[in-house]
Amino acid sequence: MSVPERIGELVSRLRASVGEAVFEDATGLANPPPPRETWIDLQGEAVTVAADADHAGRRDLALALLEAIVERPSYGPSNPLSPDAFSLILDAAPAELAASLDQSVGHLYGGKRYLRRHIWAIPGREGARWLGTLARADDARANFLLQDMRVGTAPGWREEDWADRLDTMAELPAEPRPGVLMMLFARPRHRLHRERRPGGVHGARRRADLVVG
């Protein structure tokens, strides 16, 4: 089977996988759903096939995987979305990934929370940009992730990533004040002062306003 044929076949399977809810543990259910292929089963194959695909093929796979994730109900505390599968979506369909974060998109109990947790952990300036996208799209969920990070159930940020994230938060609308801005109070002020970058006078002033406001 050629690469384009493998892509087409896999895209069809991903689209067909959207249906009944996925349960991480269905042993306690009175009527557990019958076994059925899901995006969780197919994500590894999608990553493998995407490695040999051209840009259009990678995008087709990423879009089909993204749709299957957000549209299929999913229950359980773990994150079954692999880093490689998330990287495929991030690289091949960034605009659609950003659009999927809106509260109105996808199933209410879909796998969007898996995407958000990966976005939360993106390092560097790219991670700071995506944090802004997440906060603007769904501030409540961003705030929940902040709380999870503070108690250790969501990925923590590297020391060197805080300054860019603070800059991003400073650019969010002041009114209504996003709940995720509470993260500025998660660390002692003297550490925040050390993270200000030289030359960013305007940004530093805005961050200081947020910290003391």
What is the Cα–Cα distance from 140 to 82, expressed in whole angstroms? 24
Q: What residues contact 201, with CB distance under 8 A and at least 6 apart? A: none
Evaluate if residue 28 carries a pLDDT over 50.
yes
Q: Are 141 and 134 in contact (CB under 8 A)?
A: yes
Q: Which helix (H) or strand (E) holds 49?
A: helix 39-50
Segment 193-202 shows an average pLDDT of 40
Render pLDDT for 45-103 as a digit per residue (tens, 0 to 9): 999 999 999 999 999 999 999 999 999 888 888 999 999 999 999 999 999 999 999 98
Q: Are residues 107 and 77 in the same domain?
A: yes
Q: pLDDT grade, residue 192 (50/70/90)?
A: very low
> Which residues sit opposite 22 in a β-bridge?
74
Q: Are residues 146 and 202 in the same domain?
A: yes
Render pLDDT for 138-190 as a digit per residue (tens, 0 to 9): 888 888 898 888 888 888 899 999 999 988 988 887 766 666 765 555 554 43
Q: Domain ends where: 98, 120, 142? A: 120
What is the Cα–Cα distance from 131 to 126, expressed in whole angstroms? 9
The total of structural domains in the chain comes to 2
pTM across the whole model: 0.83
What is the Cα–Cα distance from 126 to 34, expressed in whole angstroms? 40
Cis bond upstream, residue 176 (ω within 30): yes
Q: What is the reported pLDDT for 70?
A: 94
Evaluate if residue 130 carries a pLDDT over 80.
yes
What is the Cα–Cα distance from 133 to 155, expressed in whole angstroms? 18
What is the Cα–Cα distance from 60 to 128, expressed in whole angstroms? 27
Q: How far is residue 190 CA from its own chain's centroid?
A: 30
Q: Are residues 114 and 64 in the same domain?
A: yes
Domain containing 55: what range?
1-120
Q: Are residues 93 and 153 in the same domain?
A: no
